[in-house]
Amino acid sequence: MFVNKLKLSLAAGLASTVLLGVAVSGGSAMAATRSCAKATSAQACGGMSALIKAAQKEGTLNVITLPANWANYGEIISSFSKKYHIKVNSYNPDGSSQDEINAVLQQKGRPQAPDVLDVGTSYATTNLGLLAPYKVATWSAIPSALKDPNGRWFDDYGGYVAIGCNTKIVATCPTSFKALLNPMYKNQVGINGDPTQASAAFSAVFAAALSDGGSFGNIQPGIDFFSQLNKAGNYVPGGSAATAASGATPILIWWDYLQNSIQSTVSTWKVNIPTDASYAAYYTQAISKTAPHPAAARLWEEYLYSVAGQDLWLKGSARPVELATMTANGTVDKTYLAALPPAPKGTTNYPTLAQLAAAKAVVAANWSSAITGSAG
């Protein structure tokens, strides 16, 4: 799925999980740390045992823009820390994909620089020079279209753009993009973030395009739709999980699995995948080439793509990238699988990387003028 994100402000309080690491001393650990720093696989590091020792020697992992309620990241972080006795610093949980890229560039050489990234795919593919090649042990379980052949990025989890609605405030919840233009929804419709910065918002625009004559090669109708929605007085800039929970944005266009997280705090929140547009995307993992804790970064990725890590994303109602393989070999958690939001019928198609890049450029050039009337 694609790409970029403003994370749940409901989870901003969980800015870091602090479980102190057990330091591994001795020359062998130091050697392991050196050999693992640029390893392109666990095998190249000397195997998982060597990678674990090197990561524990570093003792710390820096992650960024991962609020606890986003795809179950709170439990994922705490489980990783508990399993490997590594302290995890979680920075800027409410940030966007662009914030992650900015942090890699601006914090380079500092101990708080990001070790790993979770971004919209286009943010990874357009910043390959910042990313370290690495292939997790389950590399073959990731479909070839959802990863860089050199291992610089690989998709992780995804879902569908959905329309969420607070039934306590909204009498009739919209089930399509076309319905959002109804005057009854004045000052009620939001998206999560700025589509020029955040992948979730960008994906909302792409879904709107598909509902109104657009295509993967033409996102402009989506921009036009939101311009029309804004002129009608229905669009509310600055939508988020927090504004949805408070009632300020009673209708929110966002990922289906994150809509479910709102339901955990707002019992009257209802979720619909729009009947006139089915848009799905994955988010993407990557390791920073200048990660201050390179072994811990690689161990983190191994954990995320293990059965345990994939099932924890599934527990968060997201669709992990290895789901097909895990379902086929019986390692998937059947309880979590049964609880997934229903997917639209038919084949799910995705834009190509070239189409994503082109669409991103169109949004960057035209969004501001369409919504505010100013250029940029």
CATH number of the domain within which 205 lies:
3.40.190.10
Shared domain check, 287 and 201:
no
Tokens describing residue 343: 């997917």
* Residues β-bridged to residue 255: 161
DSSP character for 152? S
Helix pair angle (73-84, 307-315), 10° resolution: 150
Shared domain check, 195 and 69:
no
Query: Domain for residue 162, yes or no?
Result: yes
The residues, ordered by sequence, that sit 6+ positions from 338 with a Cβ below 8 Å of its Cβ are none
String of DSSP letters for 302-369 = HHHTSHHHHHHHHHTT-EETTHHHHHHHT-S-HHHHHTSPPPPSS------HHHHHHHHHHHHHHHHH
Query: Domain for residue 197, yes or no?
Result: yes
SS3 letters across 232-294: CCCECCCECHHHHHHCCCCEEEEEHHHHHHHHCCCCCEEEECCCCCCCEEEEEEEEECCCCCH
Shared domain check, 139 and 20:
yes
What's the Cα-to-Cα distance from 218 to each of 22, 164, 207, rounded to whole Å?
52, 25, 11
Shared domain check, 192 and 213:
yes
pTM: 0.85
β-strands 60-64, 251-255 pairing: unpaired
In which domain, by residue range, is 364 found? 158-280+347-372
Shared domain check, 271 and 255:
yes
pLDDT in tens, the chain (376 residues): 333 343 333 333 333 333 333 333 444 445 555 679 999 999 999 999 999 999 999 999 999 999 998 999 999 999 999 999 999 999 999 899 999 999 999 999 999 999 999 999 999 999 999 999 999 999 999 999 999 999 999 999 999 999 999 999 999 999 999 999 999 999 999 999 999 999 999 999 999 999 999 999 999 999 999 999 999 999 999 899 899 999 999 999 999 999 988 988 999 999 999 999 999 999 999 999 999 999 999 999 999 999 999 999 999 999 999 999 999 999 999 999 999 888 888 888 899 999 999 999 999 999 999 997 644 4
Q: Are 341 and 159 in contact (CB under 8 A)?
A: yes
* Residues β-bridged to residue 91: 64
Of the candidates 95, 92, 94, 66, which has an alpha carbon nearest to the alpha carbon of residue 80?
A: 66
Shared domain check, 332 and 247:
no
